[in-house]
Structure 1
Amino acid sequence: MLKLKQYSITFFIAVGLVGIWVYITSFTSWVNPVIFPPVSKIIDAFVKGFPDLLKGFVSSMGLLVPAIFLSLVLGIGGGLFFGLHQKSREILSPFFHTFSPLPPTLFIPYAIALLPTFKLASIFILFIGAFWPIFLGTIQGIALIDNHYWDNTKTLGIKGKDFIFKVVLPASAPYILSGTGTALILSFIVLMMAEMFGAQSGMGHFVQYYTDFSQYDYVLAGIIFNSIIILAIIVAFEKIKKRILFWMNLKSE
């Protein structure tokens, strides 16, 4: 009931914002009608541009999915190694802290120069952006595992795959998933930037294409579509995260 009430308030806020937009664009001369078109024109642009928006979505996912997959595999795998090997972590941690804050876009010149296609260059840039939050989140999760977990592991003689999959990964899962959430958000930011300034297709390209022609009804239709897609993916991830961390919900209850 509390969640229903919360979302009902959110719904009324959204309706109120749309109402304000309708009033300002249709009944006043406060704003430029080209840059701020009425809702009817935005809806019309959304309907007409929907096939291109879907094609853009498929193109964008063709970049995002491989990058996130590689980030998860190498980020969690590398995080496990350095999380479990303290000496190696201490030796290389200055490099981790030096390179992880660098914006992925700084590597665009090298990605374009060294990789044969824009698609591979984009996947590489997205991978860099998504890798560090997952990698560092995994290391942090392992470093913060309570000592009694390690003591129980030694007492029970748990080793090998059982040690990794039944002890280390479950115990560090909150930090790994938190890093994955950050990686997703950062990846969308980088994806939109890459597609707006170098791609021939994609959700970001759709917005940039119509910006060049000052067709802001299509620009806003693209922004709304992108917002819906990103929100749906983030909500789906949060549901998966909650299911994986079900034991934390039981503990809080």
Structure 2
Amino acid sequence: MSLYSAEKAVLPHSHVSSPSWLWTWQTLLPVLITGASFFVHLGLPDKQPAASNGVYTGLLALFLLIYAALIAGGVLRPALGRRLREQAPLVTLVLVLLGIWQLLTQKLDLFPMPYFPSQVKILDALIGEASSLAVSTLYSFRLLAIGYIIGTVLGLATGILMGWYHRFRYWVNPFLRVLGPIPSTAWIPIVLVIFPTSFSASVFLIVLAVWFPVTVMTWTGIANVNNSFFEVARTLGAGESYLIRKVAIPAAFPQIFIGLFMGTGTSFVTLIVAEMLGVKAGLGFYITWAQGWGEYYKVYAALFIMALLFSGIITLLFKFKDKVLIWQKGLIKW
């Protein structure tokens, strides 16, 4: 028997599958931990009062119902069952951390208030401050969208011109090297004097934060396009405009996307800092306001909304990238 045949004969038996009882217990762990969370939540007295105890009880019960439905669906659909088993340890860890956090804060009061509220107290803010949080989120999204769109357009234009025209790159590159690496938030003392309103100053800061990475990566992508692509297009009679729009930009799009991704991260940081220092609305402003009143449970609620908003924006950006660059789907993980 050849070595290849021997390996084929051994490999199927070398994989040891986990026992079925282990998979069963792994899948049921979230149910057991949720039961323990019910005991902590309902069985122990509160030392930190919260108004949303009933709502939190309903959320735990709702989770149990949904998870039970998923288990039932996993019995009928093996693919769902496998995914449920894969995610069960992570769900268990989250539930354990929430239970420990509630035990140490609301039940035992081991962490000082108001700096460490329980998740039930944070739920008070999410419910009681829902309108204020919604308005703040809309203001932040508006500011972010305006700055990001303008910064992306300017960055694409500058990067394309730098990558295509040597003389343009000759004049702009020194300014890019000097001004680009400076964090946009460092310009806050200056832009607050130059611009008439804090909103316009904040837009400028976000534009600057997005413009630099988009410019650099677009320039890099355009400059590194294979010359053979242009030669083939010229042979077929393509003009300069066609070469830029139909050859250079599509070929450079993987690098352009990296610039867009980098600009997204820097725009988030700039947005929150700008709102904390000057803008009179938004999530950053809300956090500063809540901190000033010592209501840290509202700060945590705003951070939770911020995490959902920013994570959703990055997810949409990756969905767009997977549609446009389908051959690179999954190359950059999120």
**TM-score computed with the length of structure 2 as normaliser:** 0.69
Alignment correspondent of 1:199: 279
Q: Distance in 1 between matches of 2:278 and 2:205?
A: 13
State the one-letter code of the partner of 1:180.
L
1:209-220 alignment, distance < 5 Å? 209-220=289-300
Alignment correspondent of 1:166: 246
User: CA offsets per residue over residues 224-253 of structure 1, 9 Å max, x none?
Assistant: 1111111111111111111111133499xx
| Residue 144 (structure 1) aligned with residue 227 (structure 2) | no
Match of 1:98 among 160, 178, 184: 178
**What SS class does the counterpart of residue 121 from structure 1 fall into?**
helix
Match of 1:71 among 143, 148, 151: 151
Alignment correspondent of 2:311: 231
With a CA cutoff of 8 Å and minimum separation of 6, indicate the structure with the bigger relative contact order.
1
Q: Offset of 1:43 from its aligned partner?
A: 0.5
Q: Aligned pair in 2 of structure 1 residues 14, 98: CA closer, same or farther (>3 Å)?
A: farther
**What SS class does the counterpart of residue 199 from structure 1 fall into?**
coil
User: CA offsets per residue over residues 35-64 of structure 1, 9 Å max, x none?
Assistant: 111111110111111111111111112211
Match of 1:50 among 98, 108, 130: 130
Q: Offset of 1:101 from its aligned partner?
A: 0.8
Q: Distance in 2 between matches of 1:55 and 1:250?
A: 35
Higher Rg: 2
Q: Offset of 1:15 from its aligned partner?
A: 3.0
Alignment correspondent of 1:89: 169
Q: Distance in 1 between matches of 2:234 and 2:329?
A: 28
Q: Offset of 1:9 from its aligned partner?
A: 5.2
- The 10-residue stretch of structure 1 (33-42 or 118-127) with the greater mean CA deviation from structure 2: 33-42
**What SS class does the counterpart of residue 106 from structure 1 fall into?**
helix
Q: Offset of 1:34 from its aligned partner?
A: 1.6
Q: Offset of 1:19 from its aligned partner?
A: 2.8
Q: Offset of 1:172 from its aligned partner?
A: 0.6
Aligned length: 251
Q: Distance in 2 between matches of 1:8 and 1:185?
A: 30
**What SS class does the counterpart of residue 35 from structure 1 fall into?**
coil
State the one-letter code of the partner of 1:35.
Y
State the one-letter code of the partner of 2:142.
G
Q: Offset of 1:186 from its aligned partner?
A: 0.7
State the one-letter code of the partner of 1:23.
L
User: CA offsets per residue over residues 159-206 of structure 1, 9 Å max, x none?
Assistant: 244322221111111111111111111111111111112222101111
**What SS class does the counterpart of residue 129 from structure 2 fall into?**
helix
Q: Distance in 2 between matches of 1:152 and 1:14?
A: 56
Match of 1:180 among 260, 278, 285: 260
List alignment gaps of at least 5 residues for structure 2: 1-78
**TM-score computed with the length of structure 1 as normaliser:** 0.90
List alignment gaps of at least 5 residues for structure 1: none
1:120-135 alignment, distance < 5 Å? 120-135=200-215
Report % sequence identity.
Answer: 27
Q: Aligned pair in 2 of structure 1 residues 247, 123: CA closer, same or farther (>3 Å)?
A: same
Are the equivalent residues in 1 in contact too, given 2:202–2:279 (CA < 8 A)? no
Q: Distance in 2 between matches of 1:166 and 1:82?
A: 17
State the one-letter code of the partner of 1:215.
E
Q: Aligned pair in 2 of structure 1 residues 7, 113: CA closer, same or farther (>3 Å)?
A: farther
Are the equivalent residues in 1 in contact too, given 2:230–2:243 (CA < 8 A)? no
Q: Offset of 1:137 from its aligned partner?
A: 1.0
- Root-mean-square deviation (CA, aligned residues, Å) is 2.4
| Residue 221 (structure 1) aligned with residue 301 (structure 2) | yes
**What SS class does the counterpart of residue 261 from structure 2 fall into?**
helix
Q: Offset of 1:93 from its aligned partner?
A: 2.4
Q: Distance in 1 between matches of 2:231 and 2:90?
A: 47
